[in-house]
Amino acid sequence: MTIHQPHDLLTVQEVARKLRLSDDTVRRQIREGTLEAIRVRTTPTGREQYRVPARAVEDILGTATSVPMSDLFAPLREAFSVLSEEEREEILAQAVRWARERLPEPAGERLPALTEEELTQRFRHSRLAREPQR
C-alpha cells in the first residue's frame, strides 16, 4: 500500500486541466482502471470523488508526444510538394471519395453538394482562399 501526501494528489478537475480532457473523460478512465486514483468519498448525491497521484499524471505527460501540430503535417506537405497540381487534385478527390464511402448515411434527407462557385463564395474570407496557389 502506497501512502500519499495531500500535496501529491490532484482533483479530477486538476487532472482534466493538465491532460486537456473533460472531467467526465478523467472519471471514465478512473472507472475503467486506465488512470490510477484513490476514492476519497461519495457525495450525498452519489457521485464518487477521487484524487489522482501527481506521479500518474506526470507519467502520462512524459509519454505524450510533444510534436507541435505544424510538424505533424510536414511529411504530407513534403510528399505533396513533388506532385503536380493535377496529381494533388486527383489524390484529394480520391481521399474525399474514400471518406464519403465510409460515412454512415444520415437519418434525414441529405443536402445537395455545394458547387465550386458556392464553396468559393462561402469561404472567400478564409485564410486558405487568400493564399496563392503554387
Provide the whole-model pTM: 0.43
Q: Report pLDDT for 26.
A: 93
Q: Report pLDDT for 104.
A: 74
Q: Report pLDDT for 118.
A: 83
* Residues of the chain under the 70 pLDDT cut: 1-7, 63-72, 105-110, 126-134
Q: Report pLDDT for 67.
A: 55
Q: Report pLDDT for 100.
A: 84
Q: Cβ distance 49 to 43 under 8 Å?
A: yes
Buried b or exposed e, range 75-98, using 16+ CB within 10 angstroms = eeeeeeeeeeeeeeeeeeeeeeee
Q: Report pLDDT for 68.
A: 61
